[in-house]
Structures are given as C-alpha cells and as structure tokens.
Amino acid sequence: MRGWMLTAALGASLTLPAVGARAGFSPEELAGHEVTEIQATVTTVIPSEKVLEIEDPQGHTEVLTVGSDLTPLALQPGDRVKLSILDGLVVDLEPSQEQELSFSREDIILPMDMGQMTKGMRVALASGTARVIRIDRQDHSISLMGPLGGIHNLDVLNAQGDDDFADLKTGDLVDFRLIQPMALSVRKLPASSLTKAPTGAAPTSVRTVRPSASLKAELLESFEFAHLDGTVTQVMDDGQAFVVRGPEGHSITLSAGLDLGRTGLRSGDQVSVDFLEGLVVDLLPASATQLTVARETVILASAFGPVPKGTRVTMATGTAEVVRIARKDHTISLLGPDGHVHNLDVRRALEQEALTSLQVGDLVDFRLIQPIAYAIQRQATGRS
C-alpha cells in the first residue's frame, strides 16, 4: 500500500515523536502533518467546548477544536484572529477495497506532548474513502470527492516517481486518513487599520510601448502560458475584456488580445481559452501601511510571443496583505486591494529561504499584468 502525504487549503509542517499509530496513522505519517498560519474572522465561539467556527480569507467556514483555553480571549462573532492550525491528510494512491464512500472518526486525548501539541489536548482523527474525479500527472495533483460531497484539490508532497498515479483512474475509490483541523494557538487581533484601495477605477493612462524596452523584464520572465475551459459569463461592452467561469466555479477576467467582435463571443458560450499572465511579489514586508493599487494600460507596438501588435495590456502595482503562509505546502495567500484572496505557489522562493522575515498580517509589494487571452475556441454555445 502506498500512502502519500497530500496537502489542500491548509499546510506547513509538524514533527512528532515516534509513537504508536492512531486511527491508521504511522509515526512517519504523523510526522508529516502540517501547521498553517492564517488570519480569519470568528463566526461562532463555544469556550466551554473549546470550539471555534471561523470564516477564512476566501469566505469558507470551518469548525476548529482549540488546544488552549478560549475564555481569557473573550472572543465575539466578528472578531479578527490569528491562528496556527494543525491539519493533515494521508491518501493511499491505489484503488480501495471498499465499494462505497465512507467516513468514521474518533477523538483521542494526547498522553504526552507531541511537537506543538501538548499532553491532554483532544485531537479528532478520521478515516474513510473518497472518489477520484481528476488526475493531473504533470502537476502531481489530484481532485477527490469526499464522503460528505465536498471537492478537495490536493498536491502530492512526497512524489516518488514519474507517475505516482499509475494504479489510479478517474472514478476509483481511495482510502484516506486525516487529522481534523485544530487551532494550536489563537491570538485576537485589533481592528484592522488597513484601508482598501477603490476598485473599478479607470486606468491612469494609455500609451504605446515596445515590449522589449518598456515592459518590466521581471514581469516578462514571470509570464506563464495557461489554458482554461469554462463558460463565458460576461463580455464587456467595450469588447476589450470578458469573464470566464471555470469548472470549479471560480471566475477570471481576461483582457482580449484579439477582436472579440469577430469571434461573436456571448455570455453562455462554452470556450477553451489560452492566455498569458504574469505576477511578481516581493517576499519582504513593505513599508506601506495600507492596501494600494495603481493601474496603467499600454498598447503593444510590436508582437510579444503569441500576443499580437496593438493588444491593450493592463499592468498594476500595489500592496497586498499576507493572510496565510503554508511553508511546507510552498504557498502563501494574499488579500489584494480588490478584496479578493490570491493563492500563490512560491516554491522557488522558499528554496532560497525568502520567507524567513514574512509573517501573517504583513503587507507586500506586487506588480502584475492582467491575464491576456490570445486564443479562444468556442466549444458550444448556450444560445437559443
């Protein structure tokens, strides 16, 4: 049986001593469980039960057991808190012997200190089966539908070969074991003094540039080619941008690197879109004290790769707030001046220990180029 440590929305690392397995966990698997730093909003608090319900920066609600006494904090719904959350998930990357989705849980009381967990803490463990609904062998990621109907997008942390999913296919059931999220520490935050920059403001200027000379070299180096299959939900009246909703329900606004009038694109169309995007984040605390953004629109005087001459490119600079750091998962989450949360993979930066001075709540500087669609293929239409 091959059991790999996988990570989802929360992640970092926790080292535990060698103790007997619990709920199907080996000591090695326990050693891989993760601690994530996050800011969140309290929605419900039950101090007597050491239970906290929070809304994370992306608007998801989560119920946590808490390893410390909540009473002194006098938390109320709406309070902002900084949390260190332990969670972890192990999935066996081979078909399960079970024939249907299942779920069971048990609570244990720790008999000794284990890393950041102290003797006497109540820890909720669970096991069950989930259904494979997507496999991405190139990115070493997999999507599972859990027994409660939720979809979980997971990365393989300890990938061992060219194809860690060789035994799996879409539709298979797999066995999982997890530690349900537990807050190891909770700190009440003062009311935020940060103010968000206004959104929807018009670009400050439009000018014609040559990419090799005028677009920042760091942004050009960070450009990524991406592909998205989804549904058009809006085409802007000026024909220069449109919005696509992906298969998981997330929407993205794309600048048009081609004439949308000629494509006949309309809301409801099913499309395949190829686009370019670029983002640079300085992984050091910024000197700014509030969220800011400044935009500029340029017109390319010559082609840049597949992006044709004459394309309007919207660039922006500003600051964002760090709301989550998952060091082992190699990701951070930033709250931008538009009020949206952006999850970023900073694997290369972490290899250089670039996050050592960064903490949840810090502001960081960013520079970006809004995604530009350079190829659109309509698969089907939602027209009557």
Q: Is residue 297 part of a domain?
A: yes
Q: Locate 223 and state its tokens.
A: 């450009």
Residue of 163, 161, 119 whose CA lies nearest to 142: 163
What pLDDT score was predicted for residue 195?
44
Query: Quick one: 44 and 79 in the same domain?
Result: yes
Average pLDDT, the chain: 74
How large is the average pLDDT for residues 154-183? 76
Q: Is residue 104 part of a domain?
A: yes
What pLDDT score was predicted for residue 34?
67
Q: State the residue range of the domain holding 241.
A: 206-380
Query: Quick one: 231 and 287 in the same domain?
Result: yes
What pLDDT score was predicted for residue 232?
92
Query: Quick one: 280 and 347 in the same domain?
Result: yes
What pLDDT score was predicted for residue 29?
52
Q: Is residue 198 part of a domain?
A: no
Last residue of a domain, one of 188, 221, 253: 188
Q: How confident is the model at residue 10 (pLDDT cuts 50, 70, 90)?
A: very low
Query: Quick one: 19 and 76 in the same domain?
Result: yes
The rounded distance, in Å, linking the Cα atoms of 333 and 253 is 19
How large is the average pLDDT for residues 32-39? 73
First to last CA, the chain: 51
Query: Quick one: 34 and 132 in the same domain?
Result: yes
Query: Quick one: 48 and 146 in the same domain?
Result: yes
Q: Is residue 197 part of a domain?
A: no
Q: Is residue 193 part of a domain?
A: no
What pLDDT score was predicted for residue 162?
56
Q: Is residue 196 part of a domain?
A: no
Percent of the chain with pLDDT over 70: 73
- Kindly report which listed range (37-51, 209-223, 277-291, 339-353) carries the lowest average pLDDT score: 209-223
Query: Quick one: 82 and 211 in the same domain?
Result: no
How large is the average pLDDT for residues 206-211? 48
Query: Quick one: 40 and 155 in the same domain?
Result: yes
Query: Quick one: 15 and 144 in the same domain?
Result: yes
What pLDDT score was predicted for residue 243?
92
The single-letter code of the amino acid at 24 is G
**Would the pLDDT of 310 be above 50?**
yes
The single-letter code of the amino acid at 26 is S
Last residue of a domain, one of 157, 188, 219: 188
**Would the pLDDT of 175 be above 70?**
yes
Number of domains making up the chain: 2
What pLDDT score was predicted for residue 206?
47
Q: Is residue 201 part of a domain?
A: no
Q: Which of 29-43, 53-67, 70-84, 240-254 has the highest mean pLDDT?
A: 70-84
Query: Quick one: 133 and 232 in the same domain?
Result: no
**Would the pLDDT of 378 be above 90?**
no
What pLDDT score was predicted for residue 161?
57
Query: Quick one: 359 and 225 in the same domain?
Result: yes
Query: Quick one: 323 and 227 in the same domain?
Result: yes
**Would the pLDDT of 3 be above 60?**
no
Which is more confident, 87 or 272? 272
Which is more confident, 12 or 19? 19
Q: Which of 92-96, 113-117, 268-272, 327-331 has the highest mean pLDDT?
A: 268-272
Whole-structure pTM value = 0.51
Last residue of a domain, one of 156, 188, 220: 188
Q: Is residue 194 part of a domain?
A: no
Percent of the chain with pLDDT over 90: 5
From residue 312, alpha-carbon distances to 130, 216, 302, 352 in Å are: 45, 16, 11, 35
**Would the pLDDT of 215 be above 60?**
no
Which is more confident, 366 or 219? 366
What pLDDT score was predicted for residue 223?
66
Beta carbons within 8 Å of 11's beta carbon, 6+ residues apart: 34, 36, 87, 326, 328, 329, 331
SS (H, E, C) the chain: CCEEEEECCCCCCCCCCCCCCECCECHHHHHCCEEEEEEEEEEEEEHHHCEEEEECCCCCEEEEEECCCCHHHCCCCCCEEEEEEEEEEEEECCCCCCCCCEEEEEEEECCCCECCECCCCEEEEEEEEEEEEEEECCCCEEEEECCCCCEEEEEECCCCCCCCCCCCCCCCEEEEEEEEEEEEEEEECCCCCCCCCCCCCCCCCEEEECHHHHCCHHHHHHCEEEEEEEEEEEECCCCCEEEEECCCCCEEEEEECCCHHHHCCCCCCEEEEEEEEEEEECCCCCCCCCCCEEEEEEEECCCECCECCCCEEEEEEEEEEEEEEECCCCEEEEECCCCCEEEEECHHHHHCCCCCCCCCCCEEEEEEEEEEEEEEEEEECCCC
